[in-house]
Amino acid sequence: MMNDRVGKKIEEASLHENQEVRDFREHLDLELRIQRTNYLIVFSLIITALVAGVAYLSIKNSKLEKAYQEQVIIADNFKKERDQTAKESVTLRNNSDVLMKGKIPGLRPFEYNKDAEVDEQYVSRVSFDKTPGKSDQGESYQVRITLFNKSESTVMPDFTLILFDTNGTVTDYMHVSTLGDSFIKSSSLRPNESRTDMSGIIRVADPSKRPAYFAVRVR
């Protein structure tokens, strides 16, 4: 009888211990499932963030590439228009030069810092040298005239430098002679003598009204 009670208690204790073990295992399995679920959620969020980041960068890069291509096209069109405008400007200037030269004999383009071969008797070359820098009074330049006496007798320079606008209208003139009131005072030239005379500084208050042509008239 005693043995039966002891055996029953042992059996009950064993059953109770087994139940605790099962409960512990079930709790452990539940914790593992929760951890795996959390890991999967975190992993899914990371993957989603990576995919979204790649998609965003791809879209942004596509927009930047499109904007770049648009800027390239705009730059190319601007260059083509600029080149075309430059060609048309040159053509118009050449046509204007032809018309003006036919209208006024001996007419030459007014250009800064370029020697213009004149060869009008003893007047060899004329240059309009632009002075550096600008001021509130506009741009400025100096006239440089090279004389050469090809004759066998002494020459007393006496000529006029006439300036014209694009329509052929006289805008100014400069008298060069041995007289004291001349714009550029020169001196006599002996046979085979060469000399360069320089004017003072001439100011152009409005650059848009700068002369377009010039001519030399020797007296």
Whole-number Å distance between alpha carbons of 29 and 154: 125
Spans of the chain below 70 pLDDT = 1-24, 77-103, 133-137
Find, among 134, 157, 131, the residue nearest to 145 by Cα.
157
Q: Is the whole-model pTM more than 0.85?
A: no
Whole-number Å distance between alpha carbons of 178 and 186: 5
pLDDT digits (tens, 9 = 90+) for 44-93: 888 888 888 887 887 877 777 777 777 777 777 656 656 654 554 444 45
